[in-house]
Chain A
C-alpha cells in the first residue's frame, strides 16, 4: 500500500510529533491554570470571608468566572489529548495502555470530581451559604493536585519505564504500584505542580500589574496583584531546588538526555558549563563558558565525570541538541530572574509592608507571566525532545508508535487553525470580561454574599 511506503511514514511521524507537541504545549497552559487558579481564587475567597473584605470577595468571584472559562477550554483540549493517544500513537497505547492506563483512570476520578465541584462552586455563588460555598471549593484544589500527579506520573513512567514484563513484545504482566511510583515521579511530579502554581501566579499578577501601570492603583488592583504574586514568589525558589534535583537525577537516570541538554560530546571530568551557544559534534561554539561548573552541578565537584553523547550510538541520541540546550538554559534563566523578582518584592514588603513604589517593579511583574509560560514550554521541550528517539525510554521508539493511518498532516493543519482560533477567542473573551468588570466597577450588587452573611472578625489590616 502506498500509505506504508517509507518517506510518507517518516513525514507521518513528523506530523504526529508536531501535532502532539502543539496540542500538549497549548493544553499545559490551561492545565496549569486549572491546577493552581482555584487555589488562588480560594485564598481570595477565604480572605474575603474571614476579614469581611469586599475587594477580596469580588476578586474571588471574578476569578471563579475565569476558572469557569479556562476549565471548560482545558477540559476540551484535554479530551483532544486523550483522543490523540489513539489517533496519533495507537501502537504505543495498544502495547502499553494496559501498563500506564491505570494512572489515567485515577486521574479520571480526580477530574470528574473537579468538574462537579467547579460547577457547584461557580454556579453556587448566589444560593449557597458563604462558608459552605468556600468549603465546596477546597476539594477542587486537592483534585487538581491529584490529577496533576496522575498525569505527570505517566510522563515520568515514559522516562523511567518499569513494572511490566516482558520488555519486548506483548506485555503479559503488570505491577501497577511499580508503574505508579516509578523513579522519575519524586522529581517530575513536584516540578510540574510547582510550575503550575508559579505560572498561574505570575500570569494573574502580571494582569493586575498592567492595570496598575495604566493608573488603576486602587486597593482592588493591589490585592489582585498581591495574592497571586505571593503564591508565585513562594513557589519559585522551591522550584529552583526541585529543578536542580531533577537535573541531577536525569544526569544519572537518562545520561544521554542530560548530555544532549548540556551538549557534552565526550565522557570526561571537569566539564565546562556553557550558557547558550550552538551545539556541534565537536562541542559548543560560542556561548558563555564556566569551566568545571557542569561537573559541579552534577556531582558537587569538578572531578565529577559527566557522561557524553559518545556513549550512545547516533540512533539512540536525541535530535535538535541546540534547541534542547537553549530550552534548558532559558528555563533556568527565567526561573533565576523570577527568584530575583521575588527577593525584591520580599525585601521591600519586609521593610515597608508595601510593594516597591517604582514603576520598574510593576513592569517586571507585567512581563513575569509571559516569561513563566515560556519557561514552562521550555521545560516540556527539554523532557519530551530530550527523551527522543524513544517514546518509552529505551523500550519503544517513537517511530514504532505512530499511526499507520494517513492524513495526520491534514489533522495537524486543522488542529493548528482551530487552536489558533480557540486561543484568540479565549483571550478576546477574557479581555471582554475584564472590560465589563471595569465598566461595572465594584458595585455593591456585584459582591456575592451580603456582608451580614459573612463571618466578620477583626477589621482588615
Chain B
C-alpha cells in the first residue's frame, strides 16, 4: 500500500465516521420532525434531544475532518468536486447552518413559538442536508465530476438517477441508524413505550433502506457502470456483509434483544461505505483521476498520517470518554423524557 493509499484510507475512515455518527444525528432530526404534535410525539422529540444533545457537535466535526483530509491530500479532487457541484454543496452548507443554529437555539428558546420554529428548522434541514450530500456522492461515484475548476455540468452532474438514488439512500440509512440508536436510548432513559415506538420505526426504516438499496442495483447498472462492476466484484463481500448486518438488526429488533442491534447497524452502514470505496478503487474521481495521480507531494501525505496518528492518540480517548459519560448519563442537560406508567 502506498502512502497515497494510506491517506485515502484515512479519508475513508472519516467518511465512515461521518456516515455513522453524522447520519445518526441527521436521523434524529428526521424523527423529531415527523414525531408530530401528539403527547407521545412530544416525548419522542424530547428523547431525540436528550440523546444527541451532548454528542451532536462532536459528531459533525467528522465532516470538517473529511474536507480537510480531502483538500490537503487530494487538492485536485477537492477543487473539481467543490466547483462542479457548487449548487448541492452550497445547499448542504446552508442546511448545516440552519440545522446547527436551529439545534443550538431551540434548547435555549423557552417560548413555545420560538421553540417550535427552531425545531422545525432543525428537522427540515436534517432532511435536506444529507440528501444533497448524497447527490454529491452520487455525482462523484457515477463519474460526472471532471478535473478542473467547474468543468462539469453544474446541474446534471448531481441531478441524475444515481445522485437521486444515493440522496434517498442517505436519508433512509440516517433514519434507520438513528432509530436503532434511539431504541437503546429509550431503554436507557427508562421509557419502554418510546423504546417500542422507535423499534417500529427502526424496522420500517430498515425495510425502506433495504428497498432503496435493491432499487439501486438497477439504477447503478444502467447509469454507473464502473461502480456497478466494482460493487458486484471486488466490493461484493462487503455488500453481502452489509446486507447480513442489516438483516441481523431486523431480527434482533423483532426479538427485542437488549444489545447487538446498534453495532450491527453501524456495521451495515460502515460496510456499504467501504464497499463504495473498494468499488471505486483506484480512482478518486472514477475513471478520470486516480489516487496516485491526485495525491499531494509525499511530505504532505506523511504529515497527514502523522497528524492522523496524533488524532487517534488524543481524540479517540476523549471521544470514548464523552460517549461513555453520555451513556452513563454523567453528562446531561435538561430533563430526560418522563416515563409513563
Interface residues of A (CB under 8 A from B): 3, 65, 68-69, 71-73, 75-80, 82-83, 85-87, 90-91, 93-99, 101-102, 104-109, 111-113, 115-120, 122-124, 126-128, 171-176, 403-407, 411, 414, 418, 422, 425-426, 429, 432-433, 436
A115: chain B residues at CB < 8 Å are 57-58, 61
Beyond A82-B67, A98-B72, A108-B61, is A405–B297 a contact (Cβ under 8 Å)?
no
Q: Cβ of A407: which chain B residues have Cβ within 8 Å of it?
A: 86-87, 90, 154
A79–B73 Cα gap in the complex (Å)? 19
Are the CB atoms of B296 and A98 closer together than 8 Å?
yes
- Give the Cβ gap from B114 to chain A, nearest Cβ, in Å: 8
How many whole Å from A31's CB to the nearest CB in chain B?
14
> From residue A419, how far is it (CB to closest CB) to chain B in Å?
8
* A76-B101, A174-B297 known; A94-B96 Cβ under 8 A: no
Residues on B with C-beta less than 8 A from A405 are 83-84, 86, 150, 154
CA distance A82 to B68 in the complex (A): 8
- The reply to whether A72 and B109 form a contact with Cβ atoms under 8 Å apart is no
Q: Decide yes or no: A93 and B64 within 8 Å by CB, A80-B97, A127-B331 being known contacts.
A: no
- In the bound complex, residues from chain A placing their C-beta under 8 Å from that of B64 are 78-79, 82, 108, 111
Contacts of A90 in B (CB 8 A): 78-80, 82-83, 149-150
Q: 9 extra interchain contacts, Cβ-Cβ under 8 A, other than A76-B100, A98-B72?
A: A71-B57, A79-B96, A87-B83, A108-B68, A113-B318, A116-B319, A116-B321, A407-B87, A418-B97
User: What 0/1 pattern do residues 76 to 107 of B give for CB contact below 8 A with A?
Assistant: 10111111101101101110111011011100
Does B110 lie at the interface of the complex (its beta carbon under 8 Å from any beta carbon of A)?
A: yes
Which residues of B are at the interface with A, using a C-beta cutoff of 8 A?
53-55, 57-58, 60-61, 63-65, 67-69, 71-73, 75-76, 78-84, 86-87, 89-90, 92-94, 96-98, 100-101, 103-105, 108-111, 149-151, 154, 296-297, 299-300, 303-304, 307-308, 310-311, 314-315, 318-319, 321-322, 325-326, 329-333
CB atoms of B297 and A173 under 8 A apart: yes
Cα–Cα, bound, A359→B137 (Å) = 60
Q: Is the CB of B300 within 8 A of A99?
A: yes
Q: Could you show 13 A-B contacts with beta carbons less than 8 Å apart?
A: A75-B100, A76-B100, A80-B96, A97-B296, A101-B75, A105-B68, A113-B314, A122-B333, A174-B300, A176-B300, A404-B149, A433-B108, A436-B110
> Which residues of chain B are within 8 angstroms of A93 by Cβ–Cβ distance?
71, 75, 78-79, 82
CB nearest to A414 among chain B residues: B94
B297, A171: Cβ atoms closer than 8 Å: yes
- Are the CB atoms of A86 and B83 closer together than 8 Å? yes
Give A112 to B154 CA distance when docked, in angstroms.
Answer: 33
Of the residues B72, B79, B310, B314, contact of A91 by C-beta under 8 Å: B79
Contacts of B68 in A (CB 8 A): 82, 101, 104-105, 107-108
**Within the assembled complex, what's the spacing in Å between the Cα atoms of A292 and B78?**
50
| Alpha-carbon distance A94/B79, docked complex (angstroms) | 5
Q: How far is the CA of A322 from the CA of B293 in the complex (A)?
A: 46
Residue of B nearest to A418 (CB): B97
